[in-house]
């Protein structure tokens, strides 16, 4: 018997079903330590890195503990960045799908009104950045009185970003009778103090990362002159001819400039940085994950916490100015047993940054000669050929779940006094339907969205063309997922 199999933990059928579809078979180390402890209502301080499966480590037991009937939020997850908030929301959504867990993410630059509307409906889990969570608390649009689980994710990063005071203000408003979990890659004094002040005899666990940096990554350093930097990059990309590559710059401006340059040279590329609209950032990340384009030009925004599998090549076009950033950036490659390559450009006057990085990672990054023009000429045909065809699109992780679930749009909402019970009433009277086949119901002003589970979407869609809801026939269509 495999003791790490999810079946051996105290988890309900609905969760086991989502985990099976997500192809999570066994717990990772951090999950093995955290799941039973949370199920047992214990506080925990967990030192572990992204990539260890830590999101699911808290999402799984929290979904298990949630009381579906309760309409007020029962779990609050604080994250330092919007990207991480959205990712955590998606993970909760995937894991809690068959239990019909409702998750709302709140973060800066997102529409406050939309969040406010979402929060008015049944919400089990709220994931948010500290500033926006506080905004909601101050305006009375988020209630914390039913919170039973509080998670502080990437606590050290909250500290680095100056959010700790805000985090404390939030913690003070969460009911004391709760389970508190704190995740952090490092445990500086301030984080220890925080845990002592706000947690109840937490268990401290450290999930050893095998190594700070995967041994599957080849590191290369090229010395470049500022004036030849762009050309050197072009030569390197031709010589490497990677299937997928992130190019990191230190500033938004540098990302913008390099993106324009690469676009003008017909690279299949996109950019991402903190100055862009949230919607654009989300789209770019999603497209990159699926492989719609090969080159992503990014600031460090894209380096933290984001789970992109299998990037062949990372190029530090600008050498990172802090040592941790090197590790985070190159952590995008060499994942899940795959090999990867990390190339760093450095001007001579930037040597101090290199020394810092090398001391931190504990080895010297091998210096190499840039590919010469001869070599580039030889390789250009292969490069152009690859650039002219689109890569094979990767499967979206949630896709297995989506196939069993269809989202329907009903052209009637709060304005015509539609309530979730009206929908449940109609749907459960359809032949072959039970309450368990109905997923999340989201009643908006003039629309209602309802998820139909277990492959019954088409059947319900057909039936609703001729079945009245709340006394009238409604316009029902398949919503874009």
| Residues engaged in binding ligand AMP (CB under 6 A) | 24, 26-28, 31, 50-56, 307
For ligand AMP, give the closer residue by CB, 22 or 459: 22
Nearest distance, CB of residue 325 and ligand AMP, angstroms = 18
For ligand AMP, give the closer residue by CB, 5 or 265: 5
Nearest distance, CB of residue 91 and ligand AMP, angstroms = 7
C-beta contacts of 6-14 below 8 A and 24+ residues apart: 9/35, 9/36, 9/39, 10/36, 10/39, 10/64, 11/35, 11/60, 11/64, 12/64, 12/99, 14/98, 14/99
For ligand AMP, give the closer residue by CB, 151 or 269: 151
Backbone angles phi, psi at 455, to 5 degrees: 65, 20
Nearest distance, CB of residue 26 and ligand AMP, angstroms = 6
For ligand AMP, give the closer residue by CB, 84 or 255: 84
Our CA angle for 90, 94, 97, nearest 5°, is 125
Nearest distance, CB of residue 149 and ligand AMP, angstroms = 17
Backbone angles phi, psi at 398, to 5 degrees: -75, 0
Nearest distance, CB of residue 344 and ligand AMP, angstroms = 24
Backbone angles phi, psi at 341, to 5 degrees: -140, 140
Backbone angles phi, psi at 12, to 5 degrees: -75, 165
Nearest distance, CB of residue 303 and ligand AMP, angstroms = 13
Quote the CA–CA distance of 253 and 342 in Å, as a whole number: 23
Quote the CA–CA distance of 394 and 289 in Å, as a whole number: 7
For ligand AMP, give the closer residue by CB, 92 or 248: 92
Specify the length of the chain in residues.
481
Which residues fall within 8 angstroms of residue 438, CB to CB, at 6 or more apart?
Answer: 100, 423, 424, 427, 428, 450, 451, 452, 453
Beta bridge partners of 222: 345, 368
For ligand AMP, give the closer residue by CB, 71 or 90: 90
Quote the CA–CA distance of 429 and 425 in Å, as a whole number: 6
Quote the CA–CA distance of 210 and 154 in Å, as a whole number: 19
Backbone angles phi, psi at 291, to 5 degrees: 90, 25
Nearest distance, CB of residue 20 and ligand AMP, angstroms = 11
Nearest distance, CB of residue 32 and ligand AMP, angstroms = 9
For ligand AMP, give the closer residue by CB, 53 or 439: 53
For ligand AMP, give the closer residue by CB, 90 or 444: 90
For ligand AMP, give the closer residue by CB, 53 or 371: 53
| Distance (Å) of CA 57 to CA 86, 95, 150, 429 | 17, 11, 14, 38
In the DSSP assignment, the letter for residue 221 is: E
Nearest distance, CB of residue 398 and ligand AMP, angstroms = 10
For ligand AMP, give the closer residue by CB, 9 or 222: 9
For 86: left if phi > 0, alpha if psi spans -120 to 50, otherwise beta; the answer is alpha
Nearest distance, CB of residue 13 and ligand AMP, angstroms = 18
* Residue whose tokens read 């790490």: 4
In the DSSP assignment, the letter for residue 107 is: -
């Amino acid at each position: 018997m495999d003791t790490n199999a999810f079946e051996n933990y105290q988890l309900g059928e609905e969760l086991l079903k989502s985990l099976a579809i997500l192809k999570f078979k066994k717990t990772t180390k951090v999950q093995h330590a955290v799941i039973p402890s949370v199920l047992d209502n214990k506080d925990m301080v967990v030192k572990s890195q992204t990539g260890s499966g830590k999101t699911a480590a808290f999402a799984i037991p929290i979904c298990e503990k949630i009381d579906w009937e309760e309409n007020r939020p029962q779990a609050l997850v604080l994250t330092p960045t919007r990207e991480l908030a959205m990712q955590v929301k998606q993970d909760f959504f995937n894991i809690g799908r068959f239990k019909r867990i409702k998750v709302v993410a709140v973060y800066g630059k997102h529409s406050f009104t939309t969040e406010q509307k979402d929060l008015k409906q049944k919400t089990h889990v709220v994931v948010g950045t500290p500033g926006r969570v506080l905004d909601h608390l101050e305006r009375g649009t988020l209630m914390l009185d039913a919170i039973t689980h509080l998670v502080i994710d990437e606590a050290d990063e909250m500290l680095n970003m100056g959010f700790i005071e805000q985090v404390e203000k939030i913690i003070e408003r969460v009911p004391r009778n709760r389970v508190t979990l704190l995740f952090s890659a490092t445990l500086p004094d301030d984080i220890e103090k925080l845990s002592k002040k706000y947690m109840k005899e937490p268990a401290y666990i450290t999930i050893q990362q095998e190594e700070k940096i995967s041994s599957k990554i080849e590191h290369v350093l090229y010395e470049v002159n500022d004036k030849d930097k762009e050309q050197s990059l072009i030569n390197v990309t031709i010589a490497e001819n990677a299937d997928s590559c992130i190019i990191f710059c230190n500033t938004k401006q540098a990302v913008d400039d390099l993106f324009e340059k690469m676009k003008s040279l017909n690279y299949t590329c996109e950019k991402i940085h903190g100055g862009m609209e949230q919607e654009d950032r989300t789209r770019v990340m999603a497209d990159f994950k699926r492989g719609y384009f090969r080159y992503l030009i990014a600031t460090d925004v894209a380096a933290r916490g984001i789970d992109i599998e299998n990037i062949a090549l990372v190029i530090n076009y600008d050498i990172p100015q802090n040592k941790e950033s090197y590790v985070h950036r190159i952590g995008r490659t060499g994942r899940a047993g795959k090999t990867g390559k990390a190339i760093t450009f450095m001007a001579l006057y930037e040597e101090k940054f290199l020394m810092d990085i090398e001391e931190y990672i504990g080895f010297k990054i091998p210096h190499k000669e840039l590919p010469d023009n001869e070599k580039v000429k030889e390789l250009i045909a292969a490069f152009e050929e690859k650039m002219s065809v689109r890569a094979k699109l990767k499967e979206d992780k949630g896709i297995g779940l989506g196939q069993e679930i269809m989202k329907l749009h009903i052209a009637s909402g709060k304005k015509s006094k539609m309530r979730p019970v009206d929908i449940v009433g109609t749907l459960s009277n359809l032949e072959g339907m039970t309450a368990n086949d109905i997923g999340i119901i989201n009643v908006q002003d003039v629309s209602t969205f309802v998820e139909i589970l277990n492959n019954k979407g088409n059947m319900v869609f057909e039936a609703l063309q001729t079945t009245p809801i709340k006394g009238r026939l409604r316009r029902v269509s398949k919503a874009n997922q």
